[in-house]
Amino acid sequence: MMSDPSFLSANMAPLAYIGPGAGFTFLGSFLILFATVGLALLSILSFPIRLLVHGIRRRRRRGGKPLVKRAVVLGLDGLDPQRLRELMQKGELPHFRALAESGTFSELQSTCPPMSPVAWSSFATGVNPGKHNIFDFLNRDLKSYLPQLSSSRIRETGKRRLFGGPSAEIELLRKSQPFWRVLGEHGVFSSVLRVPITFPPEKFSGLCLSAMCVPDLRGTQGAFTFYTTEAVNPAPRSAGDSGQGSEGARITVTRTDRRIVTHLPGPTVNGTPLQARMVVDLGKDEASATLKLSGQTVTLQVGRYSEWIPVKFRAGWQRIHGICRFLLIAAKPEFRLYVTPINLHPEHPAMPISHPPYYSIYLAKLHGLFATLGLAEDTWALTEGILTDAQFLQQTYDIHAERRTMFFEALKRTRTGMCCCVFDLSDRVQHMFFRYVDKRHRAETTPLAPGEPDPVTAAYRELDNLLGKTQAELGPDDILFVMSDHGFASFRRNVHINRWLEQEGYLVRRAEATSHDYLMDVDWDKTRAYSFGLSGIYFNLKGREARGTVTESEREALKKEIAAKLTALKDPESSEAVVHAVYDNHRVYSGPYRENGPDLIVGYQRGYRVSWETAKGQVAGDLFSDNTRPWSGDHCIDTTLVPGVLLSNRKLTASGGKPHIMDIAPTLLSLFGIQKPPYMDGQVLGTAREKGAHA
């Protein structure tokens, strides 16, 4: 989904919150069953009232007669139009090719920057970032200059719950409203699965399972645990990589005979880190082990992932629930055990992850436990050499299979209205395996067997199968949208923009600085511009930043000066231009939240991207360096170079030539006979009325 928030390291303060109801989870499954039965009875008893309200809403519908019975949106994060064309021409993707020939196939303009949280927010709301307030994975605190998660905020309320735990509120920072809420106001039901920036979930007439930026139980964006008997932790996989910014906890354990006694780190509650006792007994064959955790006994096999294992952490009367999977990597000569990030338990979520709240419980009861973390695929474990390529791919496809199951169940139950699901397979695989596609990339690759497709091609084939099965579920009055939020490019070279800003005199560091992350060593009284995150450059503006140095009258000249220098920047290794274009926020954004975004958005050329060091607010290293990490593909470059894709089983036309991701929301409203709200920036795509084009 994205350029993922993996650079949000565990060094950031975790979300120290255990949500409403966590203190009651020890009451167990009986109350859940009781509550579910009660809700079902209430639903039956209230059916006549709901039917009446539904009828009133339908009569209030603005506009003309609906053109469709059901709209299905298949979101394929990061699906690239150029690669799609190449594979269709080779005959690799028959369902995509047939859909492109019979309906619509077009590039889809993305947002600036073409980043998943930004683009999917514009998809949901139909507005530009200046109106929905999402510009990156991170935003900054204007008083402290410290980074904050851009999508949600957790605040202590000062109240205490019944069993003594803290009470807090989770606020969604995305502004405007999603189109499915507008649909609901006009009597149209929606099922919304795993669309980014839906945490915490909003109330509307439908069902929602949240996605990107849902934290793990520790409050991070994904922190694995790795156990080993090795005296020295294994070096990071990538040559020249310091390993800083690790998202994992490495725990050295001791083996006594065949037994290992350790603990699984959990959340922090009231300032106290919680943990669960864990015992591993190695089998005599040294190819298996028995895990004892939270009252359960689980058999592990070397090289095989376990199922999702529930785990409980005690905090006084509270029982805080999570789930994780285990991979016994090796039992000899050294013990190596990988544990996924601890996901929120869908049946006992410590934070709200679905609407209605019981929807995640329903899904778990129906299909079994499933990943709830926003970025569930553990890219850091692959980057640091904990997981092999094959082990990461297995994890990724397992998560994809969970989502497939949920999607087709939702599709069968949503017989009228709108059903939308976003799949991450193409995004995750291209991020981590573009090194197989780009032969110029300097990251390590594993030799492929004769005739074996590279991981990117294999992922596109799987999505072609997904499309084919989706088409088989459509009726003659259904419209299908297949879309991505952006395309993809190789990420061969790091650009350390904060180093460049320092060299050009725009950023100044304190001589006595001891901490390098998150701009901690910046002298704000002498600094005019700085960068962090993945999207752009911020000015140290007077009246906005706490210690601003740039006046409003100096702002425009500074924008032109920095933009001119960056577009002239060359890579000394190849003499290639590094920056395709630099965008002024006043020209690409409009709306009340424009000033919350970067002042300049840097649109890099293919092959280049802002460095991980700059993303973390560091001012370190040479201006350019090779990217030798497995994370070898990206899209945080110039938006014109990585458009998304739009396919449909009906002919679609855009008045401006090429459709924009903001156009999807007003188009879907129009298909159900609802006028586009005046605040929406997107345009209604012209839609052919012929039916039966889904075959």
Report residue 535's pLDDT band, with 50, 70 and 90 as the boundaries.
Answer: confident
What are the extents of the domains in the chain?
A: 5-136+147-214+345-488+642-687, 491-640
Mean pLDDT of 222-229: 96
E strand map for 194-271 = 206-209, 225-228, 249-252, 259-269
Cβ–Cβ < 8 Å for 426, 76 = yes
CATH class entry, domain 491-640? alpha beta
Please list the residues that pair with 557 across neighbouring strands: none
d(CA 517, CA 535): 17
Among 228-232, 290-294, 377-381, 491-495, the minimum mean pLDDT is found in 228-232
Q: What is the pLDDT of residue 240?
A: 34
Mean pLDDT of 316-324: 92
d(CA 149, CA 170): 12
Among 56-65, 141-150, 194-203, 313-322, the minimum mean pLDDT is found in 56-65
- In angstroms, the Cα distances linking 667 to 84, 316, 474, 595, 663 are 24, 52, 19, 29, 6
d(CA 248, CA 217): 14
What the block records as the tokens of 198 is: 């839906």
Q: What is the pLDDT of residues 425-435, one digit of tens each?
A: 999 999 999 99
CB atoms within 10 A of CB 324: 23
CA–CA–CA angle 609, 614, 617 (5° rounding):
155
The order of strands in the sheet holding 326-330 is 249-252, 225-228, 336-339, 326-330
Q: C-alpha 138: how far from its chain's center? A: 13
Q: What is the pLDDT of residue 265?
A: 97
Q: What is the pLDDT of residue 378?
A: 97
What the block records as the tokens of 176 is: 């405007």
The per-residue b/e assignment along 580-618, b for 16 or more CB within 10 angstroms, e otherwise, is bbbbebeebbebebbebbbbbbbbbbbbbbbbbbbbbbb
Give the residue, 330 or 235, on which the prediction is more confident. Answer: 330
Residue 511 has pLDDT above 90, yes or no: no
What the block records as the tokens of 20 is: 């409403």
Q: What is the pLDDT of residues 536-576, one digit of tens each?
A: 999 999 999 999 999 999 999 999 999 999 999 999 999 99
Any long-range contacts for 34-40 (C-beta under 8 Å, 24+ apart)? 35/358, 36/358, 36/361, 36/362, 36/365, 39/358
Q: What is the pLDDT of residue 51?
A: 46
d(CA 388, CA 628): 16
Residue whose entry in the numeric block shows the structure tokens 């999702």: 308
Q: What is the pLDDT of residues 365-395, one digit of tens each?
A: 999 999 999 999 999 999 999 999 999 999 9
d(CA 491, CA 423): 22
Residue 690 has pLDDT above 70, yes or no: no
d(CA 600, CA 557): 12
Burial class (CB in 10 A: 0-12, 13-18, 19+), 48: exposed
E strand map for 522-597 = 529-532, 536-539, 579-584
Q: What is the pLDDT of residue 163?
A: 42
Mean pLDDT of 474-497: 97
Q: Which residues, 6+ apart, have CB-to-CB distance to 296 below 8 Å?
A: 309, 310
| DSSP three-state, residue 104 | strand
Q: What is the pLDDT of residues 266-289, one digit of tens each?
A: 999 888 999 999 999 999 988 999
Residue closest to 111 by CA, chosen among 89, 90, 135, 95: 135
Amino acid at 94: P
| DSSP three-state, residue 601 | strand
Q: Which residues, 6+ apart, have CB-to-CB distance to 314 below 8 Å?
A: 274, 320
* Percentage of the chain modeled with pLDDT above 90: 77
Residue closest to 155 by CA, chosen among 20, 17, 272: 17
Q: What is the pLDDT of residue 41?
A: 54
Residue 108 has pLDDT above 50, yes or no: yes
Residue 36 has pLDDT above 60, yes or no: no
| DSSP three-state, residue 60 | coil
Q: What is the pLDDT of residue 115?
A: 97
Cβ–Cβ < 8 Å for 166, 17 = yes
Mean pLDDT of 487-506: 97
Chain-wide mean pLDDT for the chain? 88
Fold (topology level) of 5-136+147-214+345-488+642-687: Alkaline Phosphatase, subunit A (3.40.720)
Report residue 54's pLDDT band, with 50, 70 and 90 as the boundaries.
Answer: low
Residue 447 has pLDDT above 70, yes or no: yes
What the block records as the tokens of 558 is: 């500074």
Query: Any idea what DSSP says for residue 346?
Result: T
Cβ–Cβ < 8 Å for 558, 550 = yes
Residue 238 has pLDDT above 70, yes or no: no
d(CA 685, CA 662): 11
Please list the residues that pair with 403 across neighbouring strands: none
Q: What is the pLDDT of residue 657?
A: 83
Mean pLDDT of 205-221: 94
Any long-range contacts for 54-63 (C-beta under 8 Å, 24+ apart)? 54/187, 55/187, 57/185, 57/186, 57/187, 58/186, 58/187, 60/186, 60/187, 61/186, 61/187, 61/672, 61/673, 61/674, 62/186, 62/673, 62/674, 62/675, 63/670, 63/673, 63/674, 63/675
Mean pLDDT of 170-195: 97
Q: What is the pLDDT of residue 42?
A: 54
CA–CA–CA angle 471, 643, 501 (5° rounding):
145
Q: What is the pLDDT of residue 12?
A: 38
Which bin fits 90, alpha (ψ -120 to 50), beta or left (φ > 0)?
alpha
Helix residue ranges, H only, 13-156: 29-45, 47-59, 81-89, 94-102, 116-125, 129-132
Cβ–Cβ < 8 Å for 490, 606 = yes
Helix residue ranges, H only, 369-527: 379-383, 389-413, 425-433, 455-472, 497-503
Domains 5-136+147-214+345-488+642-687 and 491-640 share a fold: no
Q: What is the pLDDT of residue 65?
A: 87
Residue closest to 4 by CA, chosen among 613, 487, 598, 427: 427
d(CA 13, CA 544): 24
